[in-house]
């Protein structure tokens, strides 16, 4: 039951929930803790009731966000599920290959789900989740946080207002940034695609989702090229050992030297090392000597691509391209319609707040469009998207404009998986 309020655009929430939405967190790693922290900052709207993780300290960090005793803690997914339905919405933020099983069990228990992307490790399984959610009348929202940034929300509203006319072409790029690529897709959780998901799904499902969401359509034909070019053994500096901590002769000039985790890249460790926030240099050095993040980036077991291009024709005739590369930083978007073109993105920003530029074809006039100020977390956390997603959560699940049952974001996943299939087919023929 909700009370509808008079409201201006971008004010939140659009209604006052009479009862806070109960939220449980399965997988209290980096993402789970981020969402829990944001939800806990809005106690009138969200109540965290349960947390589950294999690592007890991670659960404890989520439990500490609420009043003592308010959060039930579990040491794994099965004991959590055995306890029955403990919240309205379950945040599933375990690793990629666990999502499907965890989501199926949660749907059968009656949960609506906020599911980390990717929904599953194949498009067939994503479709199965969608069908099951529809059959059971449940909603699955994927954590496509970019949709909830002030930047992309503005892009979407400009399209929806018709300011660009009919959309004809979309051109997008994603620069992962070299150290980020090394941290996550060479040394990290998503480096080995058999144990996780392919790069275009693991990382670029955000971008694939944007292409579908912004074009308002689904993919019809998809082509893709890409490979792993740089983070390979033949590119290792001469004499580089297996670990940076084993006395690499190129340590001073190597951008990927793991000793940077002791210095300018220290904040990255919070995502992968328990207690990194309070760890001294000696403990971090020990971690680098034994964990995946101390390995030479040219001597890992990685197969995630470091560059890939995708081109697609959507069912409504829009053509769209995406260029992903490890060797740029930030995203750009260009949308070309029959009335005007719109462009923007972080690489174009010199400093300060993001902007968009709209050029009208008839008059040639270019206007600069400011982006609304983001919520409490500012532009941190995916350009304000982490906050924006949680800030929208109650309305997505239970407000007057709640989503229909099913898996929201399926088209984008289909585009990403089709692109990976296309890339592999081309690779197989050369
Ligand atoms: N939306 C985004 O922008 C975004 C960004 C980064 C990662 N991700 C996705 O979020 C997910 C989580 O990523 P992360 O960086 O938080 O990883 P993480 O490894 O830090 O967190 C996963 C957590 O799940 C726990 N876990 C694993 N199996 C479990 C089980 N059976 N029962 C209970 N807990 C279990 C692990 O102990 C770990 O704490 C991944 O699927 C990833 O692809 C999404």
Contacts of 387 (CB under 8 A, 6+ apart): 38, 148, 374, 375, 376, 377, 381
| Domains of the chain, each with CATH number or no CATH | 2-143 (3.40.50.720), 147-231+304-381+408-429 (3.30.360.10), 233-294 (no CATH)
Asked whether 274 lines ligand 1 (CB < 6 A), one says no
Contacts of 267 (CB under 8 A, 6+ apart): none
Residue minimizing CA distance to atom 31 of ligand 1: 77
Would you say 251 and 260 are in contact if contact means Cβ atoms under 8 Å apart?
no
Residue minimizing CA distance to atom 15 of ligand 1: 30
- How far does residue 26's CA lie from ligand 1's centre (Å)? 9
Asked whether 95 lines ligand 1 (CB < 6 A), one says yes
Report pLDDT for 11: 45
Report pLDDT for 2: 34
Report pLDDT for 106: 98
Report pLDDT for 350: 66
Mutate to test the pocket of ligand 1, among 26, 28, 29, 61 (most ligand atoms within 8 A of CB): 29
Ligand 1 atom having least distance to the Cα of 102? 31
Ligand 1 atom having least distance to the Cα of 33? 16
Report pLDDT for 425: 92
Mutate to test the pocket of ligand 1, among 38, 51, 52, 53 (most ligand atoms within 8 A of CB): 53
Over its length of 430 residues, how does the chain's per-residue pLDDT go in tens digits? 333 333 333 444 555 556 899 999 999 999 999 999 999 999 999 999 999 999 999 999 999 999 999 999 999 999 999 999 999 999 999 999 999 999 999 999 999 999 999 999 999 999 999 999 999 999 999 999 999 999 999 999 999 999 999 999 999 999 999 999 999 999 999 999 999 999 999 999 999 999 999 999 999 999 999 999 999 999 999 999 999 999 999 999 999 999 999 999 999 999 999 999 999 999 999 999 999 999 999 999 999 999 999 999 999 999 999 999 999 999 999 999 999 999 999 877 766 677 899 999 999 999 999 888 777 766 678 888 999 999 999 999 987 779 999 999 999 999 999 999 999 998 888 7
Ligand 1 atom having least distance to the Cα of 58? 39
- How far does residue 274's CA lie from ligand 1's centre (Å)? 13
Contacts of 338 (CB under 8 A, 6+ apart): 164, 165, 166, 168, 361
Report pLDDT for 161: 98
Report pLDDT for 168: 98
398, containing H or E segment: helix 385-398
Report pLDDT for 6: 32
Residue minimizing CA distance to atom 7 of ligand 1: 31
99, containing H or E segment: helix 99-109
**How far is the C-alpha of 99 from the C-alpha of 105, rounded, in Å?**
10
Q: What is the length of the chain?
A: 430
- Does a cis peptide bond (omega within 30 degrees of 0) precede residue 111? no
Q: Which of 108, 110, 115 is nearest to 32 (CA)?
A: 115
132, containing H or E segment: helix 123-136
Contacts of 359 (CB under 8 A, 6+ apart): 340, 341, 342, 365, 366
Mutate to test the pocket of ligand 1, among 56, 94, 386 (most ligand atoms within 8 A of CB): 94
Ligand 1 atom having least distance to the Cα of 202? 43
Structure tokens at 4: 């509808």
DSSP 161-202: TTTT-SEEEEEEEEEE-HHHIIIIIISSTTSSTTTS--HHHH
Structure tokens at 387: 């906050």
**How far is the C-alpha of 347 from the C-alpha of 336, rounded, in Å?**
19
Asked whether 143 lines ligand 1 (CB < 6 A), one says yes
Question: How many other β-carbons are positioned within 10 Å of the β-carbon of residue 103?
Answer: 29
- How far does residue 61's CA lie from ligand 1's centre (Å)? 15
Q: Which of 216, 204, 219 is nearest to 313 (CA)?
A: 219
- How far does residue 208's CA lie from ligand 1's centre (Å)? 21
Residue minimizing CA distance to atom 21 of ligand 1: 29
Asked whether 98 lines ligand 1 (CB < 6 A), one says yes
Report pLDDT for 224: 98
**How far is the C-alpha of 382 from the C-alpha of 334, rounded, in Å?**
19
Ligand 1 atom having least distance to the Cα of 77? 32
Report pLDDT for 8: 34
Asked whether 31 lines ligand 1 (CB < 6 A), one says yes
- How far does residue 107's CA lie from ligand 1's centre (Å)? 19
Total-model pTM? 0.93
């Amino acid at each position: 039951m909700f009370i509808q309020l008079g409201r201006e655009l971008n004010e939140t929430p659009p209604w006052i929930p009479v009862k806070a939405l109960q939220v449980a967190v399965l997988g209290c790693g980096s993402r789970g803790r981020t969402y829990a922290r944001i939800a806990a900052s809005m106690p009138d709207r969200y109540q965290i009731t349960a947390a589950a993780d294999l690592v007890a300290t991670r659960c404890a960090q989520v439990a500490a966000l609420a009043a003592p005793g308010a959060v039930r803690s579990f040491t794994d997914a099965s004991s959590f599920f055995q306890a029955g339905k403990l919240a309205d919405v379950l945040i599933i933020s375990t690793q990629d290959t666990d999502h499907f099983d965890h989501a199926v069990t949660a749907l059968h228990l009656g949960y609506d789900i906020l599911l980390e992307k990717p929904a599953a490790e194949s498009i067939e399984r994503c479709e199965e989740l969608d069908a099951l959610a529809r059959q059971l009348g449940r909603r699955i929202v994927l954590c496509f946080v970019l949709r909830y940034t002030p930047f992309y929300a503005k892009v979407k509203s400009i399209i929806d207002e018709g300011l660009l006319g009919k959309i004809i072409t979309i051109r997008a790029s994603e620069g992962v940034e070299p150290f980020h690529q090394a941290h996550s897709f060479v040394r990290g959780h998503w480096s080995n695609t058999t144990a996780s998901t392919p790069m275009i799904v693991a990382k670029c499902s955000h971008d694939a989702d944007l292409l579908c969401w912004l074009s308002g359509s689904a993919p019809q034909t998809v082509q893709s090229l890409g490979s792993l070019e740089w983070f390979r053994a033949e590119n290792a500096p001469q004499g580089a050992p297996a670990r940076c901590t084993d006395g690499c002769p190129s340590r001073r000039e190597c951008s990927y030297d793991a000793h940077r985790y002791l210095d300018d890249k220290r904040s990255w460790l919070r995502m992968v090392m328990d207690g990194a926030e309070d760890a001294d240099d000696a403990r971090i050095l020990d971690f680098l000597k034994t964990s995946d993040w101390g390995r030479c980036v040219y001597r890992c077991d990685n197969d995630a691509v470091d560059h890939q291009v995708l081109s697609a024709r959507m069912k409504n005739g829009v053509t769209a391209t995406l260029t992903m590369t490890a060797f740029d930083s930030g995203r750009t978007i260009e949308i070309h319609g029959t009335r005007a073109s719109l462009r923007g993105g972080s690489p174009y920003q010199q400093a300060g707040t993001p902007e968009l530029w709209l050029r009208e074809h008839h008059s040639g006039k270019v206007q600069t469009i400011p982006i609304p100020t983001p919520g409490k977390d500012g532009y941190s956390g995916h350009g304000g998207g982490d906050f924006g997603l949680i800030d929208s959560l109650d309305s997505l699940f239970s407000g007057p404009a709640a989503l229909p049952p099913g898996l929201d974001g399926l088209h984008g996943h289909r585009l990403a998986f089709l692109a990976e299939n296309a890339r592999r087919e081309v690779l197989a023929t050369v």
